[in-house]
Amino acid sequence: MPHVYTSDAYSPSQIAAKVEAVGVRKANARFTETFMLGTLAGGFIGLGALFFTFIQADASLNPTVARLVGGLFFAVGYLIAILAGAELFTSNNLFAMAVAAHKITFRQLCRNWVIVLVANTVGAVGLVVLFLLSGLHREMDGAVGAVAYEIGASKIALPPLEAWWASFIT
């Protein structure tokens, strides 16, 4: 199977063709492969969130600097997921292009989305369990746990539609 990822510059139509090819390949991937890569992605993104939480918990940092540096370190989770070839639900939304081009079925698209969404959740929850079992929430005199709780509580307090849109920018 040809490698579909490169760093060359492409025209919009070439990019669309590559996205469609990735969609076809991933839509036809085995369940176990998709689930494992999805679980890894959930954990990797969770690691980025954990980096962010530790930086936010550092009281010695200016809040603006902490937010900026935390955001940069949060992006490390995405970078790890990309480099590992992990399956992340948000990026798999581009598979809709393969459906529009009639290269995969809507059923294949939904199958992938469900597997990846569940797997991302398993990976993220697994990291939370490890975080709690490791005692990392007690670091910095409990500040790490307090910041993690604060972040979670602020997300839960959002109205559902606002939470949906906020998930794209925070």
Residue 58 placed within a domain: yes
Least confident of 7-16, 86-95, 122-131, 152-161: 7-16
**What CATH number is attached to the domain comprising 103?**
1.20.1080.10
Residue 141 placed within a domain: yes
Query: Strand, helix or coil at 61?
Result: coil
The answer, yes or no, to whether residue 2 has pLDDT greater than 70, is: no
Residue 128 placed within a domain: yes
pLDDT of residue 5: 63
Contact predicate 50/125, CB 8 Å = no
The answer, yes or no, to whether residue 100 has pLDDT greater than 60, is: yes
Q: Which two tokens stand for residue 79?
A: 């970078």
Residue 5 placed within a domain: no
The answer, yes or no, to whether residue 157 has pLDDT greater than 60, is: yes
Mean pLDDT of the chain: 91
Residue 6 placed within a domain: no
pLDDT band at 166, cuts 50/70/90? confident
The answer, yes or no, to whether residue 36 has pLDDT greater than 70, is: yes
Domain housing 31: 12-166
Tell me the average pLDDT across 103-108: 95
Q: What is the tally of structural domains in the chain?
A: 1
Residue 4 placed within a domain: no
Residue 43 placed within a domain: yes
Residue 55 placed within a domain: yes
With both helix axes pointing from N to C terminus, report the angle between 63-84 and 31-57 in degrees, rounded to the nearest 10: 160
Phi, psi (deg, nearest 5) at residue 89: -55, -45
Read out DSSP for 3-50? ---------HHHHHHHHHHHHHHHHTS-HHHHHHHHHHHHHHHHHHHH
Query: Mind listing the pLDDT tens digit for each residue in 64-98?
Result: 999 999 999 999 999 999 999 999 998 888 888 99
The answer, yes or no, to whether residue 11 has pLDDT greater than 90, is: no
